[in-house]
Amino acid sequence: MTMPGTNTGPYRVGADIGGTFTDLVLSGPDGIVTTAKVLSTPDEYGRGIISGLNQMLDTSGVPAQEISGIVHGTTVVTNALLENQGARTALITTHGFRDVLELRRLRVPQLYNLAHRPPRPIVDRRLRYEITERIAADGTVIEPLDVAALRRIADELAMMQVGSVAVCLLHSYKNPVHERAAAEIIRERLPDVYLSLSVDVLPEIREYERTSTTVVNAFVGPIVKNYLTALRRSLDGVGVPAPLLIMQSSGGVMSASLAAEKPAHMVESGPAAGVIAAQVMGGRSRLTRLIAFDMGGTTAKASLIEDAEVSRTTEYEVGASMNHATPFVTGTGHALKLPMIDIAEVGSGGGSIATVDRSGSLKVGPRSAGSVPGPACYGRGGSAPTVTDANVVLGYINPGQLAGGNLTLRPELAEDVLNEHVARPLGLSVHQAAYGIHTVVNASMIRAIKSVSTNRGRDPRDFALFAFGGNGAVHAAAIAQEMGIRQVIVPPRTGVLSAVGLLEAGIEHHFVQTFIHATAAVPLDRLDAAFAALEQRAMRAMGRESTAQPGEERLQYLADVRYIGQAHEITVPFARRPTLHEHVAALEEDFAREHERTYGHRSPDVPTEFFNLRVIASVEEPRAPVLSQVPQIADPRGRRRAYFGPALGLLPTPVVTRSAVGAERTSGPLIVEEQDATVVVPPGCSVSRDSYANLIIEIAG
């Protein structure tokens, strides 16, 4: 499928903004043409994209007008939430529900921590308004909407100069008449305000999650709208008026205009692209059981790919912490209940800062040096030791090769801060201190991997570790050794793989509707009507996608199912069969099988019920070409001393390029340098290269 628009050329661009670096990929009909890795520009994120884009166009000689599409993943939404830098937002809700955001689920992340304070709600209490109205759980109007009071609230909000309004009324997912009426009044009184209705954002039961998700959407809406408008203007300014698509947390993409309407779907868009790339590239190599491991400059992420399918969830907390029992400690962030790739994230990246506390314990992260000032070795004023500084001291990273040679490092600055802040306080040598940082950050990332594998009933030893990101391949082999994982896969273009993944994703929209009925007694006409309503919403959204042609859409049907009496449900595929008996039997077996796999048991004597129905509408984009060509850099042709722990110390380690690694295994220690990343093969391990240019590291038992 070609991407219609102003341009119809054969080239496409993937642009992924991270906390430290912005990665770009230019893809053409014969493969990846070139890539760029530039420092992110948090004061104006689009500036980094334009800088990298100009760099690629200059390097490749491709005319700007030959670019037919740009796919973008960004941290703008996540950063706005973490830094509380969104719009001044008001909430209008049903009388009696003003404090839902404050009460949350009454959970605490640490059972005995009586001093725990949850994050401050996005909307201040004085901007949370109650309105008299009531709709019953079956959709019946019990009490009409107080229109006069709503007009007074709207006038007050106008005087308070709010930028966004979120509307979340009780049971509006069953009957949206009051929310729609409220929207008309607000638009009449506040024509320039950004408006989010829960019936549009999340027409699904559970009041706190629905309110929080709607508020998040309103809070970041103006920020995203302004950002995308400015980026569009900048792209036009450099002669690239191609369609702009935005990555979603679900692994699909959408147009920039739709992204401005539902920006909450952009949370974790960059990491989602990396998982999609791992899924597609692993599938090409017939690798169907993978743990996608992405370590960048600020965070590290892990996600499970099982039977060639990515793991998905509908529950997430922005800004949440990690623990050993669950991927996110509930109650520590802002709740979102949207379709997402199941990704566990920890504050462990190349820029993560190492400290020694008063008890003499070494800690790494989550505080990060970011791109400004960056690690000390960047020579940009950073004064705290980071993971990158430690890896430079250990000899893993070539000081003259970071970011394709665009950034020259200063090892002496790394040694200075390590000595001052870690080595001397702990009575260690600088290499021991650096290795300590390396080990501690690995332990943190192991927690993330366990949270998507062991904590989900999966044994990580049954999977291969698929490592990417600017720092992933530096740490992957050591992590695999610790966890008993036998194989590490390092794809080509590993340092910019999330940007490659953007070009692998297709247009996708998810729709949900609460539908609570016992599976064995559900009226099929009501079930069909509910799915038909979801289909209509899906097709309307696809009709607004300028890059989707009529008839190309593919619809998937799913159902959230649970045992009657359970508080949470499992999403399973729903195949619409001709008779009720066939439908119930297939659905219940799929649910029971997944329940047993996840929780270790099934309950055949307990009846099941529908909870939500879901429809996914998608259109596949043309796949990015196979990355079998290895980007060439100057062959290091040498050795350098690298430190592999107290038992082995400093070892003379050969340094080669990926193209120098052949099909026959080469034993470690070995360092493979690339334009956008470094691969460390520890002693006792071996590495080879397959036909797709993947590096296969076999881990010593």
Residues 655-658: contacts with CB within 8 Å, 24+ apart?
655/398, 657/630, 657/632, 657/633, 658/492, 658/630, 658/689, 658/693, 658/695
Instruction: Please tell me the distance from the alpha carbon of residue 313 to that of residue 370, in angstroms, as a whole number.
Output: 29
Give per-residue pLDDT as tens, 221-272. Answer: 999 999 999 999 999 999 998 999 999 999 999 999 999 999 999 998 889 9
User: Which pLDDT value is given to residue 4?
Assistant: 37
**Distance from C-alpha of 585 to C-alpha of 289, rounded to nearest angstrom:** 28
pLDDT tens for each residue of 380-396: 999 999 999 999 999 99
How many other C-beta atoms lie within 10 A of the C-beta of residue 554? 11
Determine what percent of the chain is predicted with pLDDT higher than 70: 91
DSSP 464-493: EEEEESTTHHHHHHHHHHHHT--EEEE-TT
Strands 666-667 and 638-643: unpaired
Alpha carbon distance 27, 34 (integer Å):
7
Q: Could you tell me if 305 and 278 are in contact, meaning their C-beta atoms sit under 8 angstroms apart?
A: yes
pLDDT by residue (tens digit) across 394-404? 999 988 766 55
| pLDDT value, residue 630 | 54
Residue 457 Ramachandran class (φ > 0 left, ψ -120 to 50 alpha, else beta): left
Sheet holding 608-619, edge to edge: 31-39, 21-28, 11-17, 67-73, 244-247, 253-255, 507-518, 608-619, 554-563, 570-573
Return mean pLDDT, the chain. 89
Peptide bond before residue 327 is cis, with ω within 30 degrees of 0: no
| Within this chain, domains 11-80+225-266 and 269-332+340-348+453-502 share the same CATH topology | yes
* 269-332+340-348+453-502 to CATH, choices 3.40.50.1360, 2.40.40.20, 3.30.420.40, 3.50.30.50: 3.30.420.40
Measuring CA to CA, which residue among 446, 447, 357, 375 is closest to residue 414? 375
pTM: 0.89
What pLDDT, in 10s, does the model give residues 337-372? Answer: 999 999 988 888 899 999 999 999 999 988 888 878
pLDDT in tens, 64-93: 999 999 999 998 888 888 778 899 999 999
Domain ranges of the chain: 11-80+225-266, 86-220, 269-332+340-348+453-502, 510-619
SS (H, E, C) 89-140: EEEEEECCCCCHHHHCCCCCCCCCCCCCCCCCCCCCHHHEEEECCEECCCCC
pLDDT in tens, 549-587: 655 778 999 999 999 999 889 999 887 655 556 777 788
Q: What is the C-alpha to C-alpha distance for residues 504 and 252, in angstroms, rounded to an integer?
A: 9
The topology under which CATH files domain 11-80+225-266 is Nucleotidyltransferase; domain 5 (3.30.420)
Question: Is the pLDDT assigned to residue 631 strictly greater than 70?
Answer: no
Flag whether pLDDT at 453 surpasses 80.
yes
Please give the structure tokens belonging to residue 448: 């993330």
